[in-house]
Amino acid sequence: MSDVKKFTKKLDELNFENMYEGDFFLTWDKTREELEAVFTVANALRHLRENNVSTKIFDSGLGISLFRDNSTRTRFSFASACNLLGLEVQDLDEGKSQIAHGETVRETANMISFMADVIGIRDDMYIGKGHTYQKNVVEAVSQGFKDGVLEQKPTLVNLQCDIDHPTQCMADAAHLIREFGGVENLKGKKIAMTWAYSPSYGKPLSVPQGVIGLMTRLGMDVTLAYPEGYEVMDEVVEVAKKNAAEQGGKFVITNDMKEAFKDADVVYPKSWAPFKAMEKRTELYGNGDFEGIKKLEKELLAQNAEHMDWECTEEMMKLTKNGEAMYLHCLPADITDVSCEHGEVAATVFDRYRDPLYKQASFKPYIIAAMIFLAKVKDPARKLEELENNAKARADLL
């Protein structure tokens, strides 16, 4: 088999020392070289596994997962990532824990972390809550480690919050890097991050925000498109503008889906809820106003219904560069006449891109594993070489 030196050579050229014993909250908190280190380690781990080489760096330990929203891909990706590195996974079910009885964040975080090496949290439903909760967990375990309660500080990986979905967007980028033949080839490529109609309401803003926050960082020309009233967080828009200016790319906002699709190399049609509405929803839940929530839901569904023409159809795809743009989605997609009567994407378009979409999703376990690896291993390049040199078989396939 080919060796990992092509990956370790790249790592030796990058400055990512600050990731050791750190956490992963938002992509724009990391330097460009730190992001490239994640992509590089993810590819190295994938390379080793595909060659049946064990990548277990832990003999024991736990990965704790806490999902405050439903999940399939991210849940299994986190479990796969932990297993890839030798950790067992324990899901924290808040309904079966003392959290339901008023246990504090500090107490919960310390009680689950005695032998935990990583904590993965998805908390994306309420504006101003998810990212703050994750920060509070890190503060609690950091203090627990400082006080000698914990043997180690678990690394926190943001599996999605109200602001960003870094594991998803990093996986999306890893897929694009593979398809375009290198991160340097993303520069100048146009990606259209567009709203699309959905018959449901309340979809998080973290995917579109994560995409504009990361892809501008990689030098892509990013167009964010949505009907009037479906704005995302102002602070993330400012991040995207700043990134585009620094990287020499473009960041454009439009209320015209066709304009976004025109000459695009990549399209990412995905529904999300208006930021202001999600703020109001958070406030209503905080006040226990369930009648107000029902009223808001009806209003948002009616608002969505005014924009059923925001759909990724064959006609829309013809507007893209040579009519052959890559189609991305974090899944599950709302597929017209399949999963719903009217949705985000036409069935013919989705079916044509089904296998590439699955390949896109396949990068997430490796991205999560790389985030953990870089936080736990002091010299990642040498550890990767050690794993290859030892060449312990992952499985006996004879």
What rounded mean pLDDT belongs to the chain?
95
What would the pLDDT profile of 267-318 be if each residue is shown by its tens digit?
999 999 999 999 999 999 999 999 999 999 999 999 999 999 999 999 999 9
Taking a C-beta distance cutoff of 8 angstroms, is the pair 64, 108 a contact?
no
Q: Are 126 and 282 in contact (CB under 8 A)?
A: yes
Distance CA 223, CA 371 (A): 28
Tell me the per-residue pLDDT of 49-92, one tens digit each, with 9 for 90 and over. Answer: 999 999 999 999 999 999 998 898 999 999 999 999 999 999 99
Strands 62-67 and 88-91: what pairing? parallel
Is residue 393 classed as helix, strand or coil in its secondary structure? strand
pLDDT at 1 over 70: no
- CATH number of this structure's domain 5-164+364-390: 3.40.50.1370
- What pLDDT does residue 394 have? 84
What global pTM score does this model have? 0.96
DSSP 72: S
Q: What is the pLDDT of residue 101?
A: 54
**What is the side-by-side order of every strand in the sheet holding 88-91?**
88-91, 62-67, 116-123, 155-161
Mean pLDDT of 83-107: 83
Q: Which helix (H) or strand (E) holds 268?
A: strand 266-269
What is the model's pLDDT at position 292?
Answer: 95
| Two domains, one topology: 5-164+364-390 and 168-361 | yes
Average pLDDT over residues 154-183: 98
Name the fold adopted by 168-361: Rossmann fold (3.40.50)
Instruction: Using pLDDT thresholds of 50, 70 and 90, give the confidence band for residue 393.
Output: confident
Q: Facing residues of 190 across strands? A: 221
Lowest mean pLDDT among 91-100, 128-137, 187-196, 294-303: 91-100
Q: What is the mean pLDDT of residues 7-19?
A: 97
Domain ranges of the chain: 5-164+364-390, 168-361
In the predicted structure, residue 365 carries a pLDDT above the cut 80: yes
Which DSSP symbol is given to 197? Answer: -
Q: What three-state secondary structure class fits 134?
A: helix
- What pLDDT shows up at residue 98? 64
Question: Which DSSP category does 365 fall into?
Answer: H
